[in-house]
Amino acid sequence: MKSNLKIRIAVAAVAASIVFGGMLESARGSVWNGSSSSAWSDAANWDILPSEVGAGNAIINPGSPNVIPVVSTAGNTTVGQIYVSINAGLNVVGGGDLTTSDLVVGVWGNSSVNVTGGALTMTGYLNIAPGGNYDGDVSI
């Protein structure tokens, strides 16, 4: 019996973002800075909350002092594309609910996404670096 299952792995071509000094920068979208807490929904942690830019892109650089954003609630959690930068991460936990078109992990450097008891919905591509120089990890 022939299977119709197709798995697509795409090489990220990110026109709106470029790698600059180990961080991702974007002409449009939101950039994580982690200055206030680890809460995804805390507007102080972003240059602008991702959902407030019309479901724009979210760029997750390692924040300071809160390196990894945590999605633990529903609401303010629909974004366009999510790019997880070098040595950065994303955690979706408990009642967290995050919807994105595309998720790019580990392409520019070691990064990870962990989903534990929450929901991560993608309507497009999941792009995970294949190892070698960089590792991308998605744990569900």
- Pairing mode, strands 102-105 and 81-84: parallel
**Token pair listed for 93:** 């936990």
Distances (CA, A) of 72 to 60, 79, 86, 116, 128: 16, 15, 23, 10, 23
**CB contact at 8 A, 138 and 132:** no
Q: What is the pLDDT at residue 27?
A: 44
**CA gap 17, 5 in Å, rounded:** 31
Please give the Cα distance from 8 to 53 (Å, whole number). Answer: 29
Predicted TM-score (pTM) above 0.85: no
- Phi then psi for 44, rounded to 5 degrees? -65, -15
- pLDDT tens for each residue of the chain, 140 residues long: 433 332 233 323 332 333 333 444 444 678 999 999 999 989 899 888 887 655 578 899 887 788 799 999 877 678 888 999 888 999 999 889 998 988 988 877 788 899 998 899 999 988 887 666 677 878 87
Predicted local confidence at residue 130, as pLDDT: 66
